[in-house]
Amino acid sequence: MLKHYFLDNCIEAGTDEAGRGCIAGPVTAAAVLLSKNFSNELLTDSKLLSEKNRLSLRPIIIEDAVSYSVTHIEPLIIDEINILNASLKAMQESILKLNTIPQHIIVDGNRPLISKGSLSNTIGRIYTEGEVELLHSIPSTSIIKGDSKYLSIAAASVLAKTFRDDYMEKIHEEFPMYNWKKNKGYPTKEHRAAILKYGVTKYHRKTFRLLPEQLTLEI
């Protein structure tokens, strides 16, 4: 059974991202503040759940959440600030969009929520001075495999994954030859074969290895 909180007696939000290893589409993060009495035996790391179970959990999480938010960071920004900073930015923006300001944040992974370069103010959403101060003022704890240990991080992982999947299915209609509704932007053989045949799109991450090393592509 997953734990409710890392710190007791405070307003704690969990945050996680999805799509970091993809070569197309956004990196997507969610932040979730669950009610104190929330309980669900099915909820765990979204990667361990079937698509059916993720989709069944999403409305349960949304209905129970005191506050939640989801943020997509587009490939242009990923290419500009790198995938690590883009992932952190997606989580930071999700925290800023919560209706309730948390007193503590738990983050999936081993990187701090605020790290050097992760508050880039040169592209994408430009943080105000107040938003930068707010992000610095809220303590956070990074937890390795936190999405399989804490309910709020697991809930964030489910929302990030399902909303990103929705996004990929939508842009699949624009570029069906890449089959994003199935591969969700991950570097499958089929996806890379389509890149070789049709080239890249505005949704591809140009700084990523889009093709195997022995093949080259003009971008």
Residue 169 near residue 24, CB atoms below 8 Å = no
Does pLDDT of 121 surpass 80? no
Cα–Cα–Cα angle for 132, 115, 29, rounded to 5 degrees: 75
Q: Give the pLDDT confidence of 171-201 residue by residue, as tens digits.
A: 999 999 999 999 999 999 999 999 999 999 9
- pLDDT confidence bin for 218, thresholds 50/70/90: low
Q: Which helix (H) or strand (E) holds 62?
A: helix 51-64
10 Å CB burial of residue 14 (0-12, 13-18, 19+) is: buried
Non-local (6+) Cβ contacts of 41 within 8 A are: 1
Sheet holding 67-73, edge to edge: 67-73, 27-33, 12-18, 104-108, 140-143
Confidence check: pLDDT of 214 > 60: no
- SS3 label, residue 69: strand
